[in-house]
Copies of this chain bind each other. A is one copy, B any other.
Amino acid sequence: MPQLGLLPRRAWAALLSQLLRLPCSSCTQAVRCHSQVAGAVLTSQLKAHQKKPNFIIKTPKGTRDLSPQQMVVREKILDLVVSCFKRHGAMGMDTPAFELKEMLTEKYGEGSGLMYDLKDQGGELLSLRYDLTVPFARYLAMNKVKKMKRYHVGKVWRRESPTIVQGRYREFCQCDFDIAGQFDPMIPDAECLKIMCEILNGLQLGDFLIKVNDRRIVDGMFAVCGVPESKFSTICSSIDKLDKMAWKDVRHEMVAKKGLAPEVADRIGDYVQCHGGVSLVEQMFQDPRLSQNKQALEGLGDLKLLFEYLTLFGIAEKISFDLSLARGLDYYTGVIYEAVLLHTPTQAGAEPLSVGSVAAGGRYDGLVGMFDPKGHKVPCVGLSIGVERIFNIVEQRMKTFGEKVRTTETQVLVATPHKNFLQERLKLIAELWDAGIKAEMLYKNNPKLLTQLHYCESTGIPLVVIVGEQELKEGVVKIRSVASREEVAIKRENLVAEIQKRLSES
């Protein structure tokens, strides 16, 4: 993990005054202070740092670097996710990190306040993207694309209060899969749930459950409970917190803060406790109040069909119809879903990791139309994998089990036991590189053999090619296996072929 380097006031003052007072003629390679502009900037920097004596070298709040070890884990997870998306026929695409601010406003409901805006530096007003869904809808409308199955892996940014323990960051990576186009009902929706199951199974995160609901059922429920239409969106946001807050606290928020009548809240309370399989769908069809609402009936009809397809896919037992699921984002219009892990896969004794949902999504049939000049709609359904949370779980598991990862893929170290063999090593290693073999050497004129062998052991390099005086004289090189310590001499001209043979066998 990155350590924070605390920079004491005195050290900064010393460093900076050194920089500023250096006569330019003795300007070191390290510091180019001969520019007047630079000097001015340094002066203002100095002031800034003196005002902040506890200046710390750090990444911005809620963000982090990924170390090489973390990067390896991250890439394994992303590879698995992307290969699943490709298995389902998705194409890749990319959009800029920022969008015109007006493209993003009025898409996220209460979340909009968490958007990162760019400073007005005399051009367009821009914001960092908040998710990958709205840029996708903008792309479809802009290019008049009516049908597309795409995945997108990229960073998004939200100015949330970071509680890093829970795996929440202000910069995080999303992996999205979406199907855009006018199709027969629930077939693409069912595939999205199948994909979520395949990914969560593939990552071996332990048992999981996917909660399913429909925005039309949520709205219908609000209507029959007596929620004023003007409060639908904000009450929806409150309900969305039920996975993190107890019902009584959510109820309090709705009544005390959002002015909902207590009896209305209690009626909602009866519904949001319901969850179950397809039988609950049937039961809700019979519900005296809900069955009077046209929207809710549409939602229930679609859920019934969805469960039929999920059964054919063999994943129905992983899905729970859950009336407490609301999803925070404003753009959903139909089926919504969210995957939660049922237990943390760490060993007994390890700190249990609270992770929240690890994947989520839903149907948003109106979003593209909001961008289209004529309001032409392109129905869409999709899902997003919460890689950061999954990453935290996998990292925790690796710590628990003491798993180590190699951070490089180097196959061969080119080494020598003798002095003045740099030239030979350089010739040898260029030959290996040109043959596509992953090779390293120590960047020293005369490294010690032991140092070279230790480097292999500490970084996991399996083979060493050794050239010394004797070898040079005989026109051979030695190949050493780091694991067995066995060495064999082979003809210099057979080196590449021999290495390739050994690597293909291992």
User: Which residues in chain A, 10-39, are within 8 Å of chain B measured between CB atoms?
Assistant: 11-12, 15, 18, 24-25, 27-32, 34-38
**Which residues of chain B have C-beta atoms less than 8 A from A29's C-beta?**
215-216, 333-334, 365-366
User: Which residues in chain A, 306-331, are within 8 Å of chain B measured between CB atoms?
Assistant: 309, 312-314, 330-331
Q: State the Cβ distance, A330 to closest chain B Cβ, in Å.
A: 5
**A71-B94, A96-B60, A119-B119 known; A12-B373 Cβ under 8 A:** yes
Choose among B25, B366, B377 the residue that contacts A229 (Cβ–Cβ < 8 A).
Answer: B25
Does A372 sit at the interface, judged by CB under 8 A? yes
Task: Assess the B119–A35 pair: CB atoms within 8 A.
Answer: no
Give the residue name and chain of the B residue nearest to A374 (CB). B11
**A60-B99, A91-B408, A443-B179 known; A5-B118 Cβ under 8 A:** no
**Which residues of chain B have C-beta atoms less than 8 A from A314's C-beta?**
430, 434
Does A126 sit at the interface, judged by CB under 8 A? yes
Does A343 sit at the interface, judged by CB under 8 A? no
Q: Give CA–CA (A57, B99) in the complex, Å.
A: 10
**Which residues of chain B have C-beta atoms less than 8 A from A444's C-beta?**
183-184, 187
Task: Assess the B439–A87 pair: CB atoms within 8 A.
Answer: yes
**Which residues of chain B have C-beta atoms less than 8 A from A389's C-beta?**
none
Chain A window 104-119, contacts with chain B (Cβ cutoff 8 Å), 1 for yes, 0 for no: 0110011010001111
Choose among B65, B126, B230, B438 the residue that contacts A95 (Cβ–Cβ < 8 A).
Answer: B65
**Which residues of chain B have C-beta atoms less than 8 A from A408's C-beta?**
86, 89-91
Task: Assess the A233–B87 pair: CB atoms within 8 A.
Answer: no
User: Which residues in chain A, 283-342, are within 8 Å of chain B measured between CB atoms?
Assistant: 309, 312-314, 330-331, 333-334
Task: Assess the A426–B373 pair: CB atoms within 8 A.
Answer: no
Task: Assess the A375–B34 pair: CB atoms within 8 A.
Answer: no
Task: Assess the B423–A312 pair: CB atoms within 8 A.
Answer: yes
Does A59 sit at the interface, judged by CB under 8 A? yes
Q: Give CA–CA (A178, B408) in the complex, Å.
A: 14
Q: Give CA–CA (A66, B139) in the complex, Å.
A: 10
User: Which residues in chain A, 407-445, are within 8 Å of chain B measured between CB atoms?
Assistant: 407-410, 422-423, 426-427, 430, 433-434, 436-440, 443-445
Choose among B331, B334, B375, B440 the residue that contacts A15 (Cβ–Cβ < 8 A).
Answer: B375
Does A370 sit at the interface, judged by CB under 8 A? yes
Task: Assess the A58–B142 pair: CB atoms within 8 A.
Answer: yes
Does A452 sit at the interface, judged by CB under 8 A? no
Give the residue name and chain of the B residue nearest to A459 (CB). B89
**A105-B45, A121-B116 known; A438-B60 Cβ under 8 A:** no
Choose among B72, B121, B188, B366 the residue that contacts A28 (Cβ–Cβ < 8 A).
Answer: B366
Choose among B64, B99, B144 the residue that contacts A5 (Cβ–Cβ < 8 A).
Answer: B144
Q: State the Cβ distance, A65 to closest chain B Cβ, in Å.
A: 5
Task: Assess the A118–B119 pair: CB atoms within 8 A.
Answer: yes
**A8-B373, A29-B366 known; A93-B66 Cβ under 8 A:** yes
Question: Can you report 12 A-B residue pairs in the complex whose CB atoms are below 8 A from each other?
Answer: A15-B373, A29-B334, A29-B365, A34-B233, A37-B109, A38-B233, A55-B102, A57-B138, A66-B95, A67-B143, A74-B94, A86-B438
Extra contacts, 11 of them, besides A38-B330, A88-B439 (Cβ < 8 A), are A7-B373, A18-B375, A65-B95, A75-B92, A87-B438, A89-B440, A98-B171, A119-B119, A179-B443, A190-B426, A312-B427
